Amino acid sequence: MTTEKPWTGRFTAPTNQFVEAFTASVDFDQRLYHYDIMGSIAHARMLAKVGVLTEAEQDQIIAGLGSIEQEIEAGTFDWSVALEDVHMNIEARLTAKIGNVGKKLHTGRSRNDQVATDIRLYLRDEIDLIRAELKRLIEGLVDLAGRETDTIMPGFTHLQSAQPISFAHHMLAWVEMLMRDRERLADCRKRVNTMPLGAAALAGTSYPIDRTYTAALLGFDNIAENSLDAVSDRDFAIEFTADAALLMMHLSRFGEELVLWSSAQFDFIDLGDAFCTGSSIMPQKKNPDVPELVRGKTGRVYGHLTSLLTLMKSQALAYNKDNQEDKEPLFDTIDTLKGSLRVYADMMPQVQVKRSNMYHAAKQGFTTATDLADYLVCKGLPFRDAHEVVGQAVRHCIEHETELDALSLKTLQGFSEIITDDVYSVLTLEGSVAARNHIGGTAPVQVRKAIARLKVRLAE
């Protein structure tokens, strides 16, 4: 296969070897080979349809490209840095295989619209894979919630015990975040699925191309309306990376809670051994490496978002070589996100919930204090006065190292004479959780309804 560059006609000296290596992208953009071949086959079919290629030439090109794809997948394809990128490597190999007919494939297009098309085709498929993995994680969390609807744990604000909640309700809070992420990715996909092919270098082409036909062959919903924008737009990559950053932020928040909950101080859950590691010096250790690492990997995705935004911020229209730098941050974002989702989707169904430890923790920190205030309000006391009364009762408990539900009726009536013996039903954890019986509340009956609604949403 020749390594002669296709643009050397106006040059009188060869490219400096270091510059050749410095400007090449084939080491990382070769992952686009399937989409480059896919786009080239569609382009060849379109050129034959409009009469630029004969049917025989079209068939030769398509057969040659199919053979090249087999070579790549078999690991026998010889990638050349001298040919700069995935596009020129494939084109050069095609010409070597089928002769001068291979040189006709690039008629009516440029590497500018070719690479933009490849990236969109690639990202479209990756979004579908990511959304599928995201759904798998969501389904695992919904199943876990279904098993733990009646499990009570402390709910926190400021990482201080606040009110008792259902553990399942907490899991469904994570699910709501992930459902938004899934919707964002679906919306992003709509803008990814726009075809730039046909824009050529920047101004379109004088050949009688049929972009509608090419778009239909490639499954694009829309065709880029402006040739300048088509070749220089990377908004879709930035939007995807922004969505990925949000999703990684959510996974990082989950990770923080999993790390805390699996610690000896909380002891709320046990992560499966397959997702933890030990210590080289401390034999008792079981480290939650998976959530810690996901928490750490979030930063690299944030960095990729900043990198892509910075890459585009000063570019004049249309295409510039800067845009070669879009691929590595985009590729790594995809790899990081897919890996993080996969390991969480595998890990969460195996989480062991320590119900008694959660229940005991929920009894500490006066988590039913708000319920006592609500009780007093229902008896006719203004809320601010009820708040003051309960605050005095809590101070008494702190001074005497006891809990609200352990106070005698006589002691409670010392804070407010309207308290009667029915107060104890609202001071139980079960009573507190069950009282939040409305859409979005933590009452088990509402959590079960929320799970049913989520299953319908996922099925749709």
Report the catalytic residues: 158, 279
What does each C-alpha distance from 143 to 89, 171, 268, 363, 448 come to in angstroms? 48, 10, 18, 26, 11
Q: Which helix (H) or strand (E) holds 195?
A: strand 194-195
Q: Which residue is listed with tokens 């992208």?
A: 25
Up-side HSE of residue 115: CA atoms within 13 Å toward CB? 27
Q: Which residue is listed with tokens 């990756």?
A: 126
Alpha-carbon distance 255 to 290, whole Å?
Answer: 8
CA nearest neighbour of 349 among 142, 133, 129: 142
Tokens coding 269: 């859950």
CA 335: distance to chain centroid? 10
CA nearest neighbour of 164 among 351, 361, 352: 361
- The angle, 0 to 180 degrees and rounded to 10, between the axes of the packed helices 327-347 and 235-261 is 30
Task: Please check whether residue 122 is in contact with residue 35, taking contact to mean a CB–CB distance below 8 angstroms.
Answer: yes
Alpha-carbon distance 178 to 190, whole Å?
Answer: 19
Q: Write the DSSP string, 312-336.
A: HTTPPSS--GGGGGGHHHHHHHHHH
Up-side HSE of residue 69: CA atoms within 13 Å toward CB? 16
Q: Which residue is listed with tokens 């939007």?
A: 239
List alpha helices for 148-288, DSSP H.
Answer: 167-192, 211-218, 227-232, 235-261
Task: Please check whether residue 337 is in contact with residue 184, taking contact to mean a CB–CB distance below 8 angstroms.
Answer: no
Alpha-carbon distance 103 to 61, whole Å?
Answer: 10
